Amino acid sequence: MRRLANGDVKVSWQQGSYDNAAALADALRDREIRVHVIPAPASPGMVDKVLRLGVAGNPQNPPGVRFTPVGPDTELRIDPSRFTGTIDIHAGVQATPGQRYAVPASAFAPGEVFDGMQCATGWPIDSATLQRLAARTGVRLQWKLWRPEPNPGDPSSTQFAVTPTRTRPSGTALMADAVSPTLVEVSVVTGQDEAAMLPGVGDKPTTRCTPELTARWR
């Protein structure tokens, strides 16, 4: 966050990019911008971070505020001389058992329930291996099967039908979304060829593998 030459305050924001929601709130208040911090249940890796950022009441284009997408980020510009509303900051707090997270998190992300699993298994992870290792954590798994099918609107491309299943599908665990401290939703495709058809989905986790982290999943 910084103040521009014209007096505007610019916040370049992406979910989880601010590790300290309270510090962001204080910085905005220092620039005479009203702020409301809203506690929101979060996964372990998102506690204290900014989960959502917006204008109270969700008005469309309020005077003195502009939201602009910049790649994966959102740029928020505030003119303190014109903006008379309040900025809502949804700050992650520890969720209670069974309480759903305000924003689902990748279970493979640093600090999350499956953090480092790929250090021991390699990537991607097949659904049977994930089920076996997940049993150690005590979380419950819900399964979704992604099946490729022709796209009637564009015959040259493929779309995916997503179907919840009661039992584990065989295939590659494309994504695992932690939705509460006790529940993870796992999306499975039937093979690595199908996974390759979804660029940007199921990307390898960013955890830095260490001997200790690897040993946790051996």
Boundaries of every domain in the chain: 2-94, 105-216
Residues 6+ away with beta carbon under 8 Å from 36: 56, 86, 87, 88, 89
Residue-wise pLDDT for 124-174, tens only, equals 899 999 999 999 999 999 999 988 777 788 877 777 889 999 999 999 998
At residue 198, does pLDDT exceed 80? no
Residues 88 and 49: their CA atoms lie apart, in Å, by 13
Residues 56 and 93: their CA atoms lie apart, in Å, by 20
More confident residue, 89 or 158: 89
pLDDT of residue 160: 80
Give the pLDDT mean for 188-206: 68
pLDDT of residue 33: 94
